[in-house]
Amino acid sequence: MVIRRRFIALCGAAALLGGAVFATSGLAHHGWTWAEGENFELTGVIRTARLGNPHGLLTVNAKNEDWTVEVGQPWRNARAGLKDSMLVKGVEATFQGHRATDKSKRVMKAERVIIKGKLFNLYPDRD
Amino acid sequence: MLVDALTALQDWAPAAWLRHARWTYAAVNTAHITGIALLFGAIIPLDLRLIGWRREFPIRVLARVLLPVAVAGFCLAVTAGFFLFSVRAVEYAGLRLFWVKIALIVCALTNAWLLHHALQWEAAQGDVGVTPPPSLRMAGALSIALWLSVIVCGRMLAFVD
């Protein structure tokens, strides 16, 4: 019984540690759970681009505010016809998608990118 | 200085290539998970035996089967993990959770090393039907808790910034 109690206590401690780390770690990055349901649109100029796995991130300046815009993994961008050379510093683009639920953060996930009037649809099955 | 080294790592040709690879990146991910599965799946039965479960089997017998699998799994997970890290070295190194995970791995390895070099481990190799000594039970329970925590931290890395 003593062994079992110690075992359960240790497992509990591990779960607590994991939970505490998770709870203090802030915004979830992957998937959609961190974003709100309403559609959101942002137009601005790309300042920096970090493209590639596990997902691409752009810094976009819109009305003198820097936003972080999550775009697709390489294959998703490629499928939409979006080349890395189009997502470079100085390019003006409109991003449609969903903003982070936490309004204190200027973060959005893009479903569609519009550059010079041309639409690149990263998620053709989402609206 | 660390940042310079990490920048050099992610500019390293294989890392830069993997960052834009589709199926190879997926394959490296799969290798990482497979390594974890082998390690965790093999070490848990041994840990449970150390705690006192199924004590009709001598530790020696289980260890001969399970330890090589666990070690191979660990090596696979570390190798694949290194490549996954290299893709975004600076970014991952900036996450507190990443260093928590590394610290937990060091703790788990230390626990395993101490156990393996403990006199009680040697003495208990052939035991059948007896309650293992407290130090072995403790080491087994600690091993489960630590490796489980490593998995939780690793998985959560994809969900934090």
Q: What is the pTM of this model?
A: 0.82
Q: How far is B159 from chain A (nearest CA, A)?
A: 4
Cβ pair A53:B156 closer than 8 A: no
Q: What is the CA radius of gyration of chain A?
A: 19
Q: What are the tens digits of pLDDT across the range A62-98?
A: 999 999 999 999 999 999 999 999 999 999 999 999 9
Residue B76, both tokens: 């696979």
pLDDT grade for A26, boundaries at 50, 70 and 90: very low
Q: Round to whole Å and give the CA distance between A48 and A72.
A: 15
Residue A33 has a pLDDT of 72
Q: What are the tens digits of pLDDT across the range A11-20?
A: 676 676 666 6
> What mean pLDDT do residues B11-26 have?
95
Q: Round to whole Å and give the CA distance between A31 and A34.
A: 8
Q: Round to whole Å and give the CA distance between B157 and A29.
A: 9
> What mean pLDDT do residues A41-60 have?
94
- By the 8 A CB rule, do A122 and A111 touch? yes
Which of B17, B20, B155 to mutate to test binding with chain A, by most A CBs within 10 Å of its CB? B20
Task: Show residues of chain B in contact with A17, CB under 8 Å.
Answer: 149, 152
pLDDT grade for B13, boundaries at 50, 70 and 90: very high
A79 burial via Cβ count (<10 Å: 0-12, 13-18, 19+): middle
Q: Which of A46, A4, A50, A9 is nearest to A29 (CA)?
A: A50
B159 vs A118: which has the higher pLDDT = A118
**Has residue A21 got a pLDDT over 90?**
no
Q: What are the tens digits of pLDDT across the range B41-94?
A: 999 999 999 999 999 999 999 999 999 999 999 999 999 999 999 999 999 999
The answer to whether the complex's ipTM is over 0.85 is no
Q: What are the tens digits of pLDDT across the range B29-45?
A: 999 999 999 999 999 99
Classify residue A105 by its DSSP letter.
S
Task: Report the percent of chain B where pLDDT is more than 70.
Answer: 100
Which of A5, A16, A21, A32 to mutate to test binding with chain B, by most B CBs within 10 Å of its CB? A21
